[in-house]
Amino acid sequence: MADIEHRTVEANNIKLHIAEAGDGPLVVLCHGFPECWYSWRHQIRALADAGFRVVAPDQRGYGTSDAPDAIAAGVEGAPPAPAYMLEGLPDPGDDLPPWLTAEDVDTYVQAFTRSGFRGGLNWYRNIDHNWVLTAPFDGMKIEQPALFVTGDRDVVPFSAEAEQGMRAVVTDLRDVVVLPGIGHWTQQEAPDAVNDALLRFLKVL
């Protein structure tokens, strides 16, 4: 089984922590919110053992990677009250789902104790300006080969209409995999199924 190594790389004056393993064609695994490189822990070794070089960064503002500057007071998009989103979330206590261990939770706690949530939340606070930044790409299609994996219990609903709209923009969508009984944290909840889907997709590129 491939060993996971950790190091820091610098690009555009930003230092990013990465976890990497394996040799071969490069596969970059980018996490979402509120996660870190660790959310791909089940995929890194599986893809590396299959002949790929796998890199999973802590995105900017997460883990030990550099974070954007703080938002100045009064900037449009700043939250109306601190932590108002988090205050409404239930505390699961010790009742963890079978795919999540206490050790996993400790890893995330350590990561966010260091970084806080500001860096990740600032991406959402900046969402309107992101549309301005990407305006030159308005109307363009994604022509690269693509794979879409989701769970049928994801809180973000997926439907035939959603797939049709996605295929209109992603012109080389090779496969759509909907995993039964799986929620939003797909690669953690069903690692074997996700690994199989990824390897089928990657090996024919």
SS3 content of the chain, % helix, strand, coil (to 5): 35, 20, 45
Cα–Cα dist 118/55, whole Å: 24
Other CB atoms within a 10 A radius of the CB of residue 16 amount to: 21
Per-residue pLDDT tens digits for 139-187: 999 999 999 999 999 988 899 999 999 999 999 999 999 999 999 999 9
Examine the domain organization and report whether 125 and 146 are in the same domain.
no
Examine the domain organization and report whether 41 and 115 are in the same domain.
yes
Cα–Cα dist 112/89, whole Å: 17
How many structural domains does the chain have? 2
CATH number of the domain within which 127 lies: 3.40.50.1820
Examine the domain organization and report whether 31 and 94 are in the same domain.
yes
Examine the domain organization and report whether 126 and 183 are in the same domain.
no
Of 105, 135, 165, the residue that ends a domain is 135
Query: Any residues with CB less than 8 A from the CB of 121 and at least 6 apart, and which?
Result: 33, 79
Of 117, 135, 153, the residue that ends a domain is 135
Q: What is the pLDDT of residue 190?
A: 98
Q: Note down the domain range covering 83.
A: 1-135
Q: Is the pLDDT of residue 135 over 60?
A: yes
CA atoms within 13 A on the CB side of 80: 2
Of 135, 162, 186, the residue that ends a domain is 135
Q: What is the dihedral of CA 194, 197, 198, 201, to 10 degrees?
A: -170
* Structure token pair of residue 175: 């496969």
Per-residue pLDDT tens digits for 25-80: 999 999 999 999 999 999 999 999 999 999 999 999 999 999 877 765 555 555 55
Q: What is the pLDDT of residue 104?
A: 96
Examine the domain organization and report whether 106 and 162 are in the same domain.
no
Examine the domain organization and report whether 27 and 115 are in the same domain.
yes
Other CB atoms within a 10 A radius of the CB of residue 60 amount to: 18
Q: How confident is the model at residue 89 (pLDDT cuts 50, 70, 90)?
A: low
